[in-house]
Amino acid sequence: MFHALVRPVIAAISGTMPRETAMEARIAQAVPSNHGREELLLVRLTEDGLAEPVAAKSGLVLPLTRADGYVTIPREAEGLVKDARVRVILF
């Protein structure tokens, strides 16, 4: 969440460009989402290149300690299908 919300503001104030560290992965399971709303999904990376969703509820910090990064589910999507290629923004 820091990377999505706070980091761009700090970069704009300081006059620098934010640098994202990201990688490609495949999502380990199908993930439903609400059409019309962009969602950020916490994921944990496995040794075989899969991004596994981390169970999380809004406002909880503990899931962040279990995640390696996050995936953005676009607002026009109705979720992700298993094995879909995703871009993981690393913490």
Q: What is the CATH number of the domain that holds 66?
A: 2.40.340.10
The Cα 76–Cα 65 span in angstroms is 29
Position 33 confidence tier, pLDDT thresholds 50, 70, 90: very high
Judge whether 1 lies within some domain. Answer: no
Total domains, the chain: 1
Residue 19 has a pLDDT of 63
CA–CA gap between residue 45 and residue 39 (Å, rounded): 19
Kindly tell me if the per-residue pLDDT of 18 is higher than 70.
Answer: no
Residue 76, domain member (yes or no)? yes
Report pLDDT for 47.
Answer: 94
What is the predicted pLDDT for the residue at 20? 63
91 Cβ contact partners less than 8 Å away, ≥ 6 residues apart: 2, 3, 64, 67, 68, 69, 70
Return the bridge partners of 39, or none. 73
Q: Tell me what the mean pLDDT of segment 9-37 comes to.
A: 86
Single-letter residue type at 62: L
Statement: the pTM of the whole predicted model exceeds 0.85: no
Could you tell me which residue, 9 or 74, shows the higher pLDDT? 74
pLDDT in tens, 39-90: 999 999 999 989 999 998 777 788 888 999 999 999 999 999 999 999 999 8
Indicate whether 28 belongs to any domain: yes
Range of the domain at 37: 21-90
